[in-house]
Amino acid sequence: MDRRQFTKLALFASFLAPLGNTIKAAESDEQRKNLAKAASLKGHKAMMDAPGVKMVGNEKIAMLLYPGFYAPDLINPQFLFNAMMGAEVCLISPTDDLTPVECGGFSIVPTHRRSECPDKLDVLFVPGGATGTLEAMKNKPFIDFIKTKAADSKYITSVCTGSLLLGKAGLLKGKKATSHWTTLQLLQEFGAIPVKQRVVWDGNLITGGGVTAGIDFGLEVVAALRGKTYAQTIQLEAEYDPAPPYDSGSPEKADPFVRDNLKGIFAPLVENFRLAI
């Protein structure tokens, strides 16, 4: 087969649906590779040309690490944000070095020292946690850093108890916001209006509920920055088609036995959060 015949075949094949079967039917590894490459180019181009999709951007996203944060709060949004072509997703150290930051049984290496945190952020993100977040609430330089970065951030965001840190930085006054379900009512003490919803938007403030809410939060932010189609594409890459084995993910749905026990178990921590306000 000569080059022109091959090119015709590749173009013809690239319009066949389902494309996957076409690739399987190809005779040689070389043909399969070229068909796959054609499919990839076609897929990228279709995305780029789709209405409402911003394929490439240059958002500056700063995700703040602090000792004892809850890793999933941050890692899930990070994965979704990192899938936005061209975005710069920075994990900011709480200090001026790149010492790994502990987050529940292991450590993550920051990508940027605190002093290297970009200015004029598109997204400032603060994860939650338990006792780590409590200590962070009492860490005045850290709270001041949040306040400073928020002042020139397009969006100010958090997941889980991270909103307590935003509140401590004075960023929730008069705003609707959410938090982990155990600390939701504490938001009132910051002058916020607590809303029991997985993701809450108020002006440029976007807050997510506890831990796994970071996935829903992350997809909503991607949609705002890059359009619905891009967010749907990342949702499919992340295969986010949840199938919880139990219906125990919120205090309203959980068995009262489970809910009351967990509420009790967390009561001292919640009380300490309240005292730290």
CB of residue 104 to a copy of itself, shortest distance in Å: 6
The answer to whether the CB of 247 falls within 8 A of the CB of 232 is no
Q: Which stretch binds a copy of itself (CB under 8 A): 4-12, 118-126, 132-140, 256-264?
A: 256-264
Q: Please say if 103 is a catalytic residue.
A: no
Binding mask 13-52 for a copy of itself (x = CB under 8 A): ----xxxx--x-----x--xx-xxx-xx-xxx-xx--x--
DSSP class per residue in 215-227: HHHHHHHHHHHH-
Tokens coding 51: 């209405």
What residues contact 79, with CB distance under 8 A and at least 6 apart? 218, 238
- Rounded to an integer, what distance in angstroms lies between the CA atom of residue 217 and that of residue 197? 11
**Binding test (CB under 8 A) with a copy of itself, winner from 118, 154, 259, 276:** 259
User: Of 36 and 193, which has the nearer Cβ to a copy of itself?
Assistant: 36
Q: Binding residue for a copy of itself (CB under 8 A) from 69, 70, 125, 145?
A: 70
Q: Which of 64, 219, 225, 227 binds a copy of itself (CB under 8 A)?
A: 219
Cα dihedral 164, 211, 194, 248 sign: negative
Residue 246 within binding range of a copy of itself, rule CB under 8 A: yes
Task: Sheet containing 205-208: give its strands across.
Answer: 88-92, 60-64, 123-126, 155-159, 205-208, 199-202
**b/e code 242-273 from CB counts within 10 Å (16+ = b):** eeeeeeebebeebeeeebeeeeeebeebbeeb
Q: Which is nearer to a copy of itself, 140 or 242 (CB)?
A: 242
Please identify which of the residues 90, 103, 117, 160 carries the catalytic annotation: 160
- Applying the rule CB under 8 A, the residues between 140 and 179 that interact with a copy of itself are 160
> Hey, which residues between 110 and 129 contact a copy of itself (CB under 8 A)?
110-111
Residue 55 binds to a copy of itself (criterion: CB under 8 A): no
- Least Å distance between CB 250 and a copy of itself? 4
By CB under 8 A, name the one of 199, 200, 205, 206 that touches a copy of itself: 199
Q: Of 9, 85, 193, 238, which one interacts with a copy of itself (CB under 8 A)?
A: 238
CB of 152 to a copy of itself, least distance (A): 23
In the shown chain, the binding pattern of residues 94 to 113 toward a copy of itself, with x for contact by CB under 8 A and - for none, equals ------x---xxxxxxxx--
- Known catalytic residues are 160
